[in-house]
Structure 1
Amino acid sequence: MSVQAPRWRAMRVSDLPAASAVAARVHPGYPEDDAVMAERLRLCPEGCLALAGPGDLPFGYAVGHPWRSGSVPDLDTLVGALPVPAGAWCIHDVALLPEARGHGAAGEVVGLMLGEAARRGLPEAVLVAVGDAAGFWQRHGFRPVPIAAPAGYGAGATVMVRSLAP
């Protein structure tokens, strides 16, 4: 009997409680109200993905959306609306449970996020790397920029950008 490998799929409203539980385990030092992820899903469903494992239960999630170039919204902040026009794709969050790691899912979702940004014609992707994540993002073409991360991300957070120009 083979076990189905986790796969990325569109996030559903019914996934929000499981995604919140993943966030609490993976990012305990960066809490966000459940309303933040629900708002991002409402504003940009194409940027919200769930890593579905056995039984279709989310083992991880990713949240991205159009945003302004050279900036990111603060952690645990409702944005109300997405900017039009947008100048960048913001990768707001990627979280995988430990048991979902080591199979390439994180790298795969970076590709999915960058593909959505390219589909929208956005010239760059922007994110905040927290903890020891900067190395992961650098391996995927992101570079640190001299922009202060919003205060909610805490000390040591790094704003990173990747050009999407052909």
Structure 2
Amino acid sequence: MFTKELSTLVSMGETPSAIKTFIMNKMLLEITEETELDRMHIFLKEALSGERTIKDAEAIYGPNPCELLTKDQADRFVFDYLTERKLDIGQSVSNLLSENRRIPLTERSFSKAQIKGNRHKYGACPYNEGRPLSYFKTVLFRWLEENVKPEAKVLVGART
């Protein structure tokens, strides 16, 4: 299927721009598709709002699944997680989360064929918008384990 779509684009004339557009559209679909983390986040929000029970959330996700962290607490949690495991992500911790909240494709980024943020690398970590911005600790931990840790470099000989 990929080859057929690609050859169709190539036959349309503007090959470089057509290929860029195809790749950008494919990446956008991958970035925006609903993930298990999204479903987990929605479930926990429903538990907090009373649409589901906290006991159901605990049965599935363990103790205190609805614990919320502010932006600053989330930054600290991520910093501690990475430090304890001696992992390097090549950027500051607060940058990791703020870049993850960026909208990956805007009109300008699409015209330049550049994706903003880091969702293409780490996947999206769901968060609660509003004042204050917050994260479910359980969701944040799962995102770190499944998405960030595999992409991080292990620091050899790092001091603890």
TM-score (norm. length: structure 2): 0.26
Q: Which has the higher strand share?
A: 1
TM-score by length of structure 1 reads 0.26
Structure with the greater alpha carbon radius of gyration: 2
Counting helix residues as a fraction of each chain, which structure ranks higher? Answer: 2
Q: Which has the higher contact order (CA 8 A, sep 6+)?
A: 2
